[in-house]
A and B are shown apart, each in its own frame.
Chain A
Amino acid sequence: MKISRHHTQGLAKGVIWVAAFSTLAVMFWILYQVLREGLPLLHPDFFIQAPRQMGRAGGIFSTIIGTIALTVVAIVIATPLGVGTAIFLQEYTRESGVSRVIRFGTDCLAGVPSIIFGLFGFVFFVIFLRMGWSILSGGLTLATMILPTIICTAEEAIKSVPYTYREVSFALGGTRWQTIRKMVLPNAFPGILTGVLLGVGRSVGETAAVILTAGSSFITPDSLFSPIRTMAVHFYILAREGISMEMAYATGAALILLILAINTVANWMMYRYAHKA
Chain B
Amino acid sequence: MPIRLEESSFMEKQAKIAIQNFHFYYGTFMALKDLNLSIQPNQIFAILGPARSGKTTLLKSMNRLTDLIFGTSHTGQIFIDSQEIYGPEISLPELRRRLGMVFDLPTALPLSIFENVACGPRFKGLSEKSRLEEIVEKSLQAAVLWDEVKDRLQSSALRLSGGQQQRLCIARMLALEPEILMLDEPCSGLDPISTASIEESLTKLKEQYTILLVPHNIQQASRVADRVGFFLEGKMVEEGSAFDLFTRPKNKKTEDYISGKFG
Contact = CB atoms under 8 A, between A and B. Distances in A.
B109 A168 contact: yes
Nearest to A164: B107
Given A164-B103, A168-B103, A173 B110 contact: no
B119 A170 contact: no
State the majority secondary structure of interface residues on A: helix
A182 interface: yes
A174 B121 CA distance: 10
Interface string B23-67: 000000000000000000000000000000000000000010100
Q: Which of A169, A174, A187 has the most CB of B within 10 A?
A: A174
Interface in A39-95: 94
A175 interface: yes
A42 B109 CA distance: 49
Contact of A277 (B65, B92, B111, B124): B111
A26 interface: no
A170 B107 contact: no
A94 B70 contact: yes
Contacts of A169: 109, 119, 123
A183 B123 CA distance: 12
B103 A173 contact: no
Interface in A13-53: none
A174 B93 contact: yes
B68 interface: yes
B123 A172 contact: yes
Nearest to A161: B110
A172 B156 contact: no
A161 to B, nearest CB: 10
A277 B109 CA distance: 10
Nearest to B102: A171
A103 interface: no
B123 A173 contact: yes
B112 interface: yes
Contact of B103 (A167, A175, A183, A187): A167
Contact of A173 (B111, B112, B156, B176): B176
Contacts of B207: none
B97 interface: yes
Interface in B113-144: 119-120, 122-124
B69 to A, nearest CB: 10
B63 A171 contact: yes
A240 B52 CA distance: 70
A172 B65 CA distance: 11
Contact of B65 (A94, A170, A178): A170
A171 B109 contact: no
A174 B65 CA distance: 12
B68 A170 contact: yes
Contact of A183 (B100, B109, B120): B109
Contacts of A175: 93, 123
A174 to B, nearest CB: 5
Given A165-B109, A166-B68, A172 B119 contact: yes
B155 to A, nearest CB: 9
A172 B95 CA distance: 10
Contact of B96 (A164, A171, A183): A171
A91 to B, nearest CB: 11
B176 A172 contact: yes
Contacts of B112: 277
Nearest to B108: A168
A108 to B, nearest CB: 27
Contacts of A166: 68
B172 interface: yes
B81 interface: no
Contacts of B110: 165, 187, 277
Contacts of A170: 65, 68, 92, 96
B213 to A, nearest CB: 16
Contacts of A187: 110
Contacts of A164: 103, 105, 107
Interface in A139-194: 164-175, 178, 182-183, 187
B101 interface: yes
Nearest to B71: A94
Nearest to A168: B107
Contacts of A277: 110-112, 156, 158
A3 B122 CA distance: 65
Interface string A243-262: 00000000000000000000
Interface of A: 94, 164-175, 178, 182-183, 187, 277
Give 4 closest A-B pairs by Cβ, nearest first. Answer: A173-B97, A172-B120, A173-B93, A174-B123
